[in-house]
Amino acid sequence: MYFAINIEAFEFGRNPGPDFTTMPTAPFHRGYAYRDYGNRVGAWRLLDMFDELNIPLSVLTNAAVYDAYPELVAAFRNRGDEFVGHGRTNSERQVDMTEDQEREMLREVCARFEHEEGSAPKGWLGPFISQSAKTPELLVENGFRYMLDWFFDEQPQLFRTDNGPILSVPYPSMELNDLPAIFNRKVSDEEFASLLIDAFDQQLEDSRKYPLVYCIALHTFVMGQPHRARRLRHALEHIVRQRGDIWLTTAGEIAKYTLSLPKGVLIEP
């Protein structure tokens, strides 16, 4: 199992998404400030919690975060967490790009990660979990080994592209993802914590019969709020008590292990 935490940067004046009050209008300052809170306050609250519980993280990072919040990136780097490519900023979507624009965006992200971290990211999640018709091909072209955009299974699966296969690692785009659960489906804070526990217990039981990937997706401006952090801690404490029965790791390590399996274990697409 792995925890994915979204560390995102938005361009002021461009719509960052709903501010969950009234219909947002330019310059969208409420939505921008709400998300900025996540990087100024919420992320640090969550980091303290993950440090205390000794939980590694897959950090889904916009390249712009290196400019906007360098000290936050350094905190995750110092923990030894994995960095996953998550676009240039969270103010653009791949589905709105031409193929050449998307190719250039991916090259820019890879170059920035290589400059900052010493290597390009191996994993990808598009901002807003957005893909164009050619995203999988372009990911392979740019050296990515796995993507998180397709949640169609509870096991890693090889995904066919015109440039050869890429691994799809399960990521909870709709269910165990705090943003769509709480703000789109109107799940209460208490209910979301219960969902995390119930899904974990069910998959732990199922895993006695076949291997599964369990993932929780978090946003710092959502679960970093003090009232939600308390509920999240309750779920995390329940999970880590089962540490001896699970592999608590990162998406990248899951992908690395899966791709190392003997030929024929994975179904060739």
Q: For residue 124, what is the enclosing H or E element?
A: strand 123-124
Domains and CATH numbers, the chain: 2-259 (3.20.20.370)
Tell which residue, 39, 63, 175, has the closest CA to residue 113.
63
Confidence band of 173 (pLDDT split at 50, 70, 90)? confident
Q: Distances in Å between the alpha carbon of 201 and those of 50, 178, 262?
A: 20, 18, 29
Backbone dihedral angles phi then psi of residue 259, each to the nearest 5 degrees: -70, -15
Compute the residue count for the chain: 269
Mean pLDDT of the chain: 95
Q: For residue 83, what is the enclosing H or E element?
A: strand 82-85
pTM for this prediction:
0.95
Contact by Cβ (8 Å): 120, 114: yes
CA dist 104 and 84 (Å) reads 18
pLDDT tens-digit map of 119-154: 999 999 999 999 999 999 999 999 999 999 999 999
pLDDT exceeds 90 at position 20: no
Residue with the two structure tokens 């397709």: 150
